[in-house]
Structure formats: structure tokens, C-alpha cells
Amino acid sequence: MTTEVTPTSVAPKRNFNFLFALTLVGLLLLLCIVLSIATPSFATGNNISNLLRQGSMIAILAIGQTFVIITAGIDLSVGAVVGFSTVVVAGLLQAGVPIPIAILITLAVGLAIGCFHAFGIVKMGLPPFIITLATLTSLRGIGLLITNGSTINITNEAFTLFSRESFLGVPNLFWMVVIVAIPAFVFLHLSKWGRYLYAVGSNPEAARLSGVSVPKMIFIAYGLSSMFAAFVGVMLAARLGVGNATQGDGWELQAIASTVIGGTSLFGAIGSVHGPLIGAFILATIANGANLLNVNSFWQRIITGVLIIVIVFFDQLRRRNR
């Protein structure tokens, strides 16, 4: 028997993942090209800036969500955490807390919420769906209670100005995506922690037998997801100039949809950082394009649904044929 390695006909997944991301980028580009032709205002610098701003928040949520979904979990609370965080940061700023400290406290609150989720899952044995749904419900209540159903007006100009400005011609909000995505990429794809996340999602028993602390990875995944959501809350508060507990309603579904469009499997262990990013911007581009083309709002919903099917379908085709 020969001991050399015979090359097999099975294509290595690594390359394939890369190609897969390319397809999605291709679909996004195609969308952009069609829109550039259909409407003159699409390909203007101003609109691209708007587009980048519009997609950035869901994109960051989607990245956090991806960590959780890779562990075969789900985080329904992110929208509520966004809303709650706008209240926290707005309240702190109005109380005169300096911006950096207000932001840090808000992120810490987010982290704490995520740790609570992980605690519920790991220690109390609750399904992720339930514990995050419960937080979703409760957090909105707490936020509404704090604000008494109204909005907290942020009078700190420096804070709100940030969301409007650009750096090197790119909106600050999009830079936030870059700032989050790069470490997220390193974490998920280049560090051993990322590998452990996949292992936990793929086969928690195998991960445990390999000495991976499954609870720790669950804490990391949910902690990051909620912290990213808190970060988005800060961005949203800056963009809207208010804190309001009902904001971010339904964003969890948008984030999960971006994640799944980006090729993440809800059964865990499959997913990337770039996929959800592209997924989020595909959704943002569809909305932007529909607005620019002044599509009737009702038709806009129908078209969004159809496009989601079409895009994911072509992706599936591509994946199957490799």
C-alpha cells in the first residue's frame, strides 16, 4: 500500500468559501450596476455615502449574530438591546457623563446582557431562543420604564455630529463597520477562538473532549453579540440624536436574515464575517434602490421578498455546483 497522499477529487472547502463570498459580492455588484443604469442618482457619491450609512448598523449586528449562530444558537434580543442602549447612552450623556465614559458604560451594559444570556443557556439550561426572547421582551419594558415611553433628547452636539461626518470621504458610521469587522475577522477566521466557535457549533461533545471550554465559548459568542448591539445602539443614538427604547424593533430579524443570506447555517458551524456584511449591504441596497426608484412602499415589500429568494437561490445553486 502506498503511503503517499493521492489527491482526491473533493474540492477543499477553504477555496470554496472564498468563491462563495465572491458570488455574493457578484450579486451585490450586479444589483448596483442595475440600479446605476435604472436611476442616475444611485451612483452618486452622496448616495453611496447614504447607502453605507444605512447598511452599517445591521451589518454590525449581523456580525455579532454570526458568532452566536455559528455556535448553533440564536440571539433574538439584539434589536431590543439596540433600543435599550440608545436610552442608556442618551441618559448618561444628558446626565453630563463624558462621551467616552458613556460609551464604555453602554458597551459594558451590552456585555452584561450577553453574559446573562450565556448564563441562562449554560447554567440554567434554557434554549437560546427562549432566553433571548425573554430579554427582548423585558428590555423593552425596562427601557420604556426609564424613559416613561418618551424619547431622551441628546443635546451633546459633538456626539450627534459624529454620525454625520466623514473621514477620507467615507462616512464615520461605515468606519465603525470597518473597526468592528477587522477584529471580528481576525477573531473568527484567524484566531483559535474562532476555530473553537466552529467546533462548539459543529459538535460540542467533540469540542469538550478536545479540552475546549464550551461554556466559555458560549459566553464569548453571546457577550460579543450583545456588545455589538450596544455599540450599534450608540451609533443609532448618535444618528438619531435621541434615546428611545422602541427603536431597533425587528432589527433582530434583519440581522439574522443578513447572516443567513451571507451563507451562515442556522444549524451552526458554517458562517463567516464577510458573508453577513455583504448580506446586510444587499438588503440595504435593495431598500435604497426601491426608494430611489420611488417604488410604491407596498411593492417595495413584495420585491424585497422576491429578491431575497432569488439571491439566496442563486447562492445555493452556486454552492451545490461548487
Partner 1 sequence: MRSGSPDASSNADAQPILELRELEKRYGFIQALKPASLAFRRGEIHAIVGENGAGKSTLIKLLTGVIRRTGGKIVWNGAEVELATPNEAIAHGINAVHQEVVLCRHLSVAANIFLGDEAVKFGLLQKREMTRAAQKILDDMGFNLPADILLGDLTIGQQQLVATARASLRGTKFIIFDEPTAYLTRSEAAQLFALIRRLKDEGVTIVYISHRMEEVFELADRVSVLRDGTLVGTRNISDTNDAELVALMINRSLEQIYHKEAIPLGKVLLETRNLSGKGFNNVSLTVRAGEIVGLYGLIGAGRSEFALSVFGRNPKTAGDIVWQGNVVDMRNERTAIDLGIALAPESRRDQGLNLNLPIGLNINLPVYDQINSGIVVNAGEEKRRADQQIKDLGIKTPSRNSLASSMSGGNQQKIVIGKWLNHGAELFIFDEPTVGVDVGTKAEIYRLFAKLLKNGAGIILISSYLPEVYELADTLHVFRDGHLVGSQAYREKTHEDILAEAIGV
Partner 2 sequence: ASAQDVTIPIIVKDTTSFYWQIVLAGARAAGKDLGVNVPELGAQAETDINGQISILENAVAGKPAAVVIAPTEKSALGAPITEAAKSVPIIGIDSSADSTAFTSFLTTDNVQGGRIAAQGLVAAVKAATGKEEGEVALITSVPNAGSLEERKQGFIEELAKYPGIKLVADKYADGQAATGLNITTDLLTANPNLVGIFASNLIMAQGAGQALAENGVADKVSLIGFDSDEKLVGFLKDGTIDGLVVQDPYRMGYDGIKTALAASKGEKVEAFVDTGANLITTANMEEARSQELLNPKVN
Contact partner, 76, from partner 2, partner 1, a copy of itself, none, Cβ < 5-8 Å per class: a copy of itself
Site for partner 2 in 10-39 (CB under 8 A): 39
Q: How far apart are CA 259 and CA 115, in angstroms?
A: 22
Which one among 15, 41, 44, 137 touches a copy of itself, defined by CB under 8 A?
137
Contact partner, 269, from partner 1, a copy of itself, partner 2, none, Cβ < 5-8 Å per class: partner 1
Any contact of residue 6 with partner 1 (CB under 8 A)? Answer: yes
CB of 283 to partner 2, least distance (A): 12
Which three-class secondary structure state does DSSP give residue 49? Answer: helix
Residue 294-313 contact track with a copy of itself, rule CB under 8 A, x = bound? --xxxxxxxxxxx-xx--xx
Residue 257-296 contact track with partner 1, rule CB under 8 A, x = bound? ------------xx--------------------------
Helix, strand, coil percentages in the chain from 3-state DSSP, rounded to 5: 75, 0, 25
- For residue 97, count CB atoms less than 10 angstroms from its CB and return exposed for 0-12, middle for 13-18, buried for 19 or more: middle
Any contact of residue 150 with a copy of itself (CB under 8 A)? Answer: no
Chain-centre distance for alpha carbon 107: 16
Q: How far apart are CA 246 and CA 308, in angstroms?
A: 26
Q: Which stretch binds partner 2 (CB under 8 A): 111-119, 151-159, 200-208, 268-276?
A: 151-159
b/e for 20-59, b at 16 or more Cβ within 10 A?
Answer: bbebbeebbeebbeebeeebeebeeeebbbbbbbbbbbbb
Residue 42-81 contact track with a copy of itself, rule CB under 8 A, x = bound? ------------------------------x-x-x-----
Q: At what angle do helices 251-261 and 45-70 cross, to 10 degrees?
A: 80
Chain-centre distance for alpha carbon 203: 24
Contact partner, 304, from partner 2, a copy of itself, partner 1, none, Cβ < 5-8 Å per class: a copy of itself
Q: What is the DSSP secondary structure assignment for residue 171, as one 8-state letter?
A: E
Contact partner, 308, from a copy of itself, partner 1, partner 2, none, Cβ < 5-8 Å per class: a copy of itself
Any contact of residue 186 with partner 1 (CB under 8 A)? Answer: yes
Give whichever of 12 and 45 is closer to partner 1, judged by the CB atom. Answer: 12
Query: Are residues 176 and 236 in contact, defined by beta-carbon separation less than 8 angstroms?
Result: no
Which three-class secondary structure state does DSSP give residue 277? Answer: helix
Contact partner, 14, from partner 2, partner 1, a copy of itself, none, Cβ < 5-8 Å per class: partner 1
Partners of 166 in the beta sheet? 171
φ/ψ of 72, rounded to 5, equals 70, 25
Partners of 167 in the beta sheet? 170
Closest CA to 144 of 249, 244, 252, 250: 244
Any contact of residue 12 with partner 1 (CB under 8 A)? Answer: yes
Q: Are strands 166-167 and 242-243 parallel, antiparallel or unpaired?
A: unpaired
Footprint on this chain of partner 2 (rule: CB under 8 A): 39, 41, 44, 46-47, 50, 53-54, 57, 140, 144, 148-151, 153, 155, 160, 163-164, 236, 239-242, 244-250, 287-288, 291-294, 296-298, 301
Footprint on this chain of a copy of itself (rule: CB under 8 A): 72, 74, 76, 120, 124-127, 129-131, 133-142, 144-145, 149, 253, 256-257, 260-261, 265-267, 296-306, 308-309, 312-313, 316-317, 320
